[in-house]
A = this chain, B = another copy of it.
Amino acid sequence: MQISELARRAGVPVATVKYYLREGLLPPGELTGATRARYGEEHLSRLGLVRALLGPGGLSVATARAVLDAVDTPATSVHQALGAAHRALPGVGPDAPADLDQARALLRRQGWQVAEDSPALRALAGALEALRAAGSPPSEELLDRYAEAAGRIGEQDVAAVPTGSLADAVRFVVVNTVLLEPVLLALRRLAQEDASRRRFPGDR
């Protein structure tokens, strides 16, 4: 299809498609003339991914490009590909040099093994440090319950990874890591609202 049809089917202006092409977020089409190119279904699908990452995903163009590079790089293994995708994604919290002891102790209690340089480990340590600085140091029990809930989710996320092709696996991980995070946070707030309504019944 031509760029005008691609734009129409994706529901974006042609100028947006051209912008993504210039920024390297969308691979070029197949040249069919000096100024014409042909685009395929894979371009339409990629357009959906780019818009999801830039819009609701909240990624910058530079970060989206890094994430898409991870999606496009032929990985040698699924586990390696997941690591590359995680590293390309923006962090979930502060990434300051922090005391990793409490975070490591939590992982040990859960029996989780992760890379020493895992960005999420530093993010966890930074978030715990922030809670202490704010005068609300979390108890071991609270952290264990959070970890158990996160563990169930992580287990399910990984069980759902399609193993047919590495490219599909990486795309799935990227989309689900970025776009299910707001789902999880929104659900936590809704659960808090419902629990608060039930706990303080006379109190609306």
Q: What is the interface of chain A, defined by CB distance below 8 A to chain B? A: 45, 48-49, 51-53, 55-57, 77-80, 82-83, 86, 92-94, 107, 110, 112-115, 118-121, 123-124, 126-131, 133-136, 138, 142-143, 145-147, 149-161, 172-173, 175-177, 179-197, 199-200, 203-204
* Residues A52 and B187 in contact, CB atoms below 8 Å apart: no
A77: which of B172, B180, B203 is its contact (CB, 8 Å)?
A: B203
Number of chain copies forming the complex: 2
A127: which of B138, B186, B191 is its contact (CB, 8 Å)?
A: B186
Measured CA separation A190–B121 after assembly (Å): 7
Chain B residues within 8 Å of A94, by CB: 55-56, 182
Chain B residues within 8 Å of A180, by CB: 127, 131, 138, 146
With A78-B196, A83-B193, A197-B79 in contact, do A188 and B183 touch (Cβ < 8 Å)? no
Cβ-closest chain B residue relative to A152: B149
With A80-B203, A136-B179 in contact, do A124 and B187 touch (Cβ < 8 Å)? yes
**From A80, A118, A186, residue with most partner B Cβ within 10 Å:** A186
* Residues B145 and A156 in contact, CB atoms below 8 Å apart: yes
Measured CA separation A92–B51 after assembly (Å): 18
